[in-house]
Homo-oligomer: A and B are copies of this chain.
Amino acid sequence: MSDLLQRLRDRGWRLTAQRRVIAEVLDGEHVHYTADEVHARAAGRLPEISRASVYNTLGELVSLGEVTEVTTDGRAKRYDPNAHRPHQHLVCSGCGIIRDVRPAGDPLDALPEGERFGFAVSEAQVTYYGRCPACAARP
């Protein structure tokens, strides 16, 4: 993730303590925090950080393409730092846990020309739902 900080500097970002902490929180695989979760974790290292800064920074990271937004349940958006490797999401309908997954082939190819209604289609987001091993073990 330190290369993220480098990329941000290259784009003219001011590297503040807040942005550094948020970038650190977003480091890892299968990370899908809500803005409030990011805020709570960031506040562990930098107690005065405000919710507004978290929302601002996340929004900026999204528009730079460094982080993608994921909405799996119609509640809070989640932020996925694994933006440079194309992938989809697998969600447990019991506990809500999210895994990054890579389906075979390009999902776009499954949409025939006759189903495109003249749209210039550029992206497909796939969300798979099921029960994770832990949730499958109980009702």
Contacts from A to B (Cβ < 8 Å): 69, 71, 73-74, 77, 90, 92-93, 99, 101-105, 107-108, 110-112, 115-133, 136
Complex CA–CA separation, A105 to B131 (angstroms): 23
Interface hub of A69, A119, A136 (most chain B Cβ within 10 A)? A119
Complex CA–CA separation, A117 to B100 (angstroms): 10
Whether the pair B99, A117 counts as a contact (CB closer than 8 A) is yes
Whether the pair B118, A129 counts as a contact (CB closer than 8 A) is no
Given contacts A74-B69, A74-B77, A103-B115, contact A131 B120 (CB under 8 A): yes
Shortest beta-carbon distance from A31 to chain B in Å: 16
**Which chain B residues border A120 with CB–CB below 8 Å?**
130-131, 136
